[in-house]
Amino acid sequence: MSHFDENSSDAMFSRILERLDGQDRAAEARDKAANEKLDRIERQALKTNGRVTLLESWQTDVKARVAVVAGSVSVVIAVAAAIVEHVWR
């Protein structure tokens, strides 16, 4: 009957391989978790970029409308000033 020697080189090599396998599994689990988190971040960034693009477009539209209103108000004021000046002469 053979006796198992836990201090033999085969036993130590086996323990080292088991530890390395465990470390590999842990590293793969960390990589998977990190990739899943990065995927969630990317999806959220795409949503946010879409919202920002929409807001920038809205801002450009509002600025254009304000410019039209400001120009119209300036014309009305200029016409009113001309009428007042003509009437008061």
Task: State pLDDT tens for residues 12-68.
Answer: 999 999 999 999 999 999 999 999 999 999 999 999 999 999 999 999 999 999 999
CA atoms within 13 A on the CB side of 56: 6
What's residue 5's pLDDT? 80
60 to 46, 63, 66: CA distances (angstroms):
21, 5, 10
Return the number of other C-beta atoms located less than 10 Å from residue 1's C-beta.
Answer: 2
Mean pLDDT across 56-84: 95
Residues 6 or more apart from 5 whose CB is under 8 A from it? 11
Evaluate if residue 1 carries a pLDDT over 60. Answer: no
